[in-house]
Amino acid sequence: MKGCNIRIRGENNFVEFKENTSFRNTKIEVRGKNCTLIVGRGTGTGDDTYISVRENGTKIIIGENCMFSRNSKIMTSDGHDILTNGVRINGAKDIVIGNNVWITDNVTVLKGVTVGDGAVLAINSTVTKDVPSNSIVAGNPARVVKEEIEWKETLTF
């Protein structure tokens, strides 16, 4: 953890970072009762990632060996209630991100989304629906643009 801002408010919340995680200049917000954030082994973030587990009972589960590029946002809640005839219509929902997922620059993952193993979320995408394993999604809202892919991190020095 380097330069991170972690805020946990509420009761009975659970946060776990497995071994070999690398978070840099990331803001993490856990706010409510019985909220859960679990980050799998070998997962890392780029600068200015924002992870928000907000509202009672919500969860974000992030798998192993995931890579978040700069300015990623993952949010279980819209942040404010929207009502129709006094009834809330935008409740919070869990987010599950599989193993070996690459979330590129400026991607937003919204409530209720499950991202399958080996997926790539392309630059500037807003992900509002589930993402199949081994696929690339792109756009706003994001849609599948390629299936049956695999990706590997390439380090150059």
Percentage above 70 pLDDT, the chain: 98
Phi-psi region of 126 (alpha: psi -120 to 50; beta: other; left: phi over 0): beta
What's the confidence (pLDDT) of residue 154?
75
Mean pLDDT of 118-138: 98
What's the confidence (pLDDT) of residue 157?
53
User: How would residue 152 be classed by pLDDT, with cut points 50, 70 and 90?
Assistant: confident
State the greatest distance between any 2 C-alpha atoms of the chain, in Å, as a whole number. Answer: 58
CA nearest neighbour of 60 among 130, 121, 109, 101: 109
Which structural domains are found in the chain, ordered by start?
A: 5-147 (2.160.10.10)
Mean pLDDT of all residues belonging to the chain: 96
Mean pLDDT of 10-32: 96
Mean pLDDT of 37-57: 97
Mean pLDDT of 68-72: 96
Element (H, E) at 44: strand 44-45
User: How would residue 155 be classed by pLDDT, with cut points 50, 70 and 90?
Assistant: low
What's the confidence (pLDDT) of residue 137?
98
What's the confidence (pLDDT) of residue 58?
98
pTM for the model stands at: 0.94
Buried b (16+ CB within 10 A) or exposed e, 125-150: bbbeeebbbbbbbbeeebeeeeeeee
